């Protein structure tokens, strides 16, 4: 089975991870600016103050994207550049940056895909409670309106939220990400619910602005659950496990707690039974808003868990084999991740699925010949894409694939320790070098996946 002729091939980044220019042209601090300024919060105490300096170098970066032949580029917009007070006065210079970026992309023949929230909440709103404060959802609606008013004539593909599990789970539960809080379950579910309300309000604004021209999506992440075999019963068990709570994942870590509200207008039964009492009062009244119809389900996928059954026949994690292939940040290399997770999502929600992120970290460098040889990135991506093709063969509706990331960048609490890019960035000089994997991916795109065989 081949990739469909209109399949979208792209690459992704996010604002705080690449832009730098942390206080340029009226931008206010985001929670990531204030968090990474505190000693001990990030590896080497680094931050995204400069990062890839993409804010000043976006034209060169778009030229590199063109060289790679990208069909689409997924980037995120920095809320504190657009509304430095979180709401209210619009900072025109912030909007201009994205408007120029979008023009450059379109001139290069690259379709812009815009994410509204990839974790850089205005610090000033965090001080008012952030996602714990329902008024933040109204501010997010204002922000959506400001962005769409300027970019909506040229951008058709929109994503409201990126990986809510991370800004809630890592930001508010374990505190290893900004804003670095360790809250109680009650607060976590208030945050979960309020961000869903914000998603609903934003989706309504997008729809009323762009009608059916806009394709609106929502982007959670998940570990894939890989069935013990391809037998129908093992696949059923894996599907069930994929959409269920796993106690060892903590209260938030199941994709259905995010996608069921958005696509079905309800929280999953098992989640409600376990955590319903933690949801804010009158939550039921918001479910129609939260499930405002949208067009696609994005999903960020990196790794997966193999399933087996225990002595009582209960599904559980299969032991991880000794010496399993791992990325530099020790995530298991599990190519079948791209077969099962998108397929299960496609079957359950009956919407096009877009792999909005997939990739790996390595510690690659510029070799003596001036090139960056990263055969492991090529091998990883090759294996994952062959499995994605199988999912398409299984009948899953997969509309696109975005490699994470376009270029090496600020990897949150891990700073610049490892590299995810198709393009190497020398952070001392800002020199960019397309890696071997970038040229390899160019051929995959140009052949619509045929070069994988
Ligand atoms: C995300 C991701 C990216 C990361 C990537 C590698 O949430 O979209 O966290 O921002 O850089 O997933 O960890």
Measured over the CA atoms of residue 137, residue 138, residue 143 and residue 146, the dihedral's sign is positive
Q: 212 in helix, strand or coil? A: helix
pLDDT of residue 248: 74
Cβ atoms 169, 176 nearer than 8 A:
no
- Check pocket membership of 402 for ligand 1, CB cut-off 6 A: no
Interval 331-353: pLDDT, tens = 999 999 999 999 999 999 999 99
Listed range (112-116, 159-163, 194-198, 312-316) with the worst mean pLDDT: 312-316
Distance CA 193, CA 168 (A): 11
Distance CA 422, CA 443 (A): 13
Q: Which atom of ligand 1 is nearest to the CA of 359?
A: 6
Interval 268-312: pLDDT, tens = 999 999 899 999 999 999 999 999 999 999 999 999 999 998 888
pLDDT of residue 246: 79
| Distance from Cα 231 to the centre of ligand 1, integer Å | 33
pLDDT of residue 128: 98
Distance CA 192, CA 190 (A): 5
pLDDT at 247 over 80: no
How would you class 104 by CB atoms within 10 Å of its CB: exposed for 0-12, middle for 13-18, buried for 19 or more? Answer: buried
Ligand 1 pocket test, pick from 412, 413, 414, 417 with the greatest ligand atom count within 8 Å of Cβ, gives 412
Interval 75-94: pLDDT, tens = 999 999 999 999 999 999 99
Contacts of 74 (CB under 8 A, 6+ apart): 10, 11, 12, 13, 113, 114, 115, 159, 356, 402
pLDDT at 1 over 80: no
Per-residue tokens: 43: 């590896």
- Check pocket membership of 222 for ligand 1, CB cut-off 6 A: no
Q: Which atom of ligand 1 is nearest to the CA of 119?
A: 7
- Check pocket membership of 70 for ligand 1, CB cut-off 6 A: no
Selection from 114, 77, 82, 78 nearest residue 95 by Cα: 82
pLDDT at 313 over 90: no
Cβ atoms 332, 303 nearer than 8 A:
yes
The residue whose CA is least distant from atom 13 of ligand 1 is 411
The residue whose CA is least distant from atom 11 of ligand 1 is 411
Cβ atoms 438, 408 nearer than 8 A:
no
Active site residues: 163, 357
- pLDDT confidence of 252, banded at 50, 70, 90? confident
Q: Which atom of ligand 1 is nearest to the CA of 302?
A: 12
pLDDT of residue 253: 80
């Amino acid at each position: 089975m081949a990739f469909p002729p209109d399949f979208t091939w792209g690459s992704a980044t996010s604002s705080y991870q690449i832009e730098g220019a942390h206080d340029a042209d009226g931008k206010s601090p985001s929670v990531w600016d204030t968090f990474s300024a505190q000693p001990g919060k990030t590896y080497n105490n680094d931050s995204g103050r400069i990062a890839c300096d993409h804010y000043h170098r976006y034209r060169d970066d778009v030229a590199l994207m063109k060289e790679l032949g990208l069909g689409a580029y997924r980037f995120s917009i920095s809320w504190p550049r657009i509304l430095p007070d979180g709401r209210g006065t619009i900072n025109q210079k912030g909007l201009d940056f994205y408007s120029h970026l979008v023009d450059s992309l379109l001139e290069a023949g690259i379709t812009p895909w815009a994410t509204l929230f990839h974790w850089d909440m205005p610090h000033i709103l965090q001080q008012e409670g952030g996602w714990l404060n329902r008024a933040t959802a109204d501010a997010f609606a204002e922000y959506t309106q400001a962005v769409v008013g300027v970019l909506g004539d040229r951008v058709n593909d929109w994503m409201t939220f990126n990986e809510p599990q991370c800004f809630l789970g890592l930001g508010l539960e374990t505190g290893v990400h900004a804003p670095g809080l360790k809250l109680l379950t009650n607060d976590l579910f208030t945050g979960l619910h309020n961000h869903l309300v914000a998603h609903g309000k934003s989706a309504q604004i997008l729809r009323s602005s762009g009608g059916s021209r806009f394709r609106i999506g929502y982007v959670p992440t998940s570990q894939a659950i890989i069935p013990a075999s391809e037998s129908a019963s093992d696949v059923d068990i894996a599907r069930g496990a994929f959409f269920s709570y796993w106690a060892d994942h903590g209260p938030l870590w199941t994709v259905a707690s995010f996608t069921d509200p958005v696509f079905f207008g309800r929280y999953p039964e098992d989640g409600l039974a376990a955590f319903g009492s933690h949801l804010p009062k009158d939550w039921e009244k918001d479910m129609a808003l939260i499930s405002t119809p949208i067009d696609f389900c994005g999903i960020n996928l990196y790794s997966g868990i193999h399933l087996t059954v225990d002595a009582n026949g209960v599904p559980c994690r299969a032991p991880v084999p000794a010496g399993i292939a791992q990325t530099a940040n020790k995530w298991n290399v599990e190519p079948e991740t791209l077969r099962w997770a998108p397929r299960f999502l496609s079957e359950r929600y009956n919407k096009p699925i877009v792999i909005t992120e997939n990739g790996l970290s390595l510690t690659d460098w510029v070799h003596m010949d001036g090139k960056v040889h990263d055969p492991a990135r090529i091998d990883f991506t090759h294996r994952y894409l062959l499995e994605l093709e199988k999912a398409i063969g299984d009948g899953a509706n997969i509309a696109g694939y975005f490699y994470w990331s376009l270029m090496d960048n600020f990897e949150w609490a891990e700073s610049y320790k490892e590299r995810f890019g198709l393009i190497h960035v020398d952070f001392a000089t800002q020199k960019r070098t397309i890696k071997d994997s970038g040229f390899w991916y160019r051929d995959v795109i140009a052949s619509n996946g045929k070069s994988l065989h």
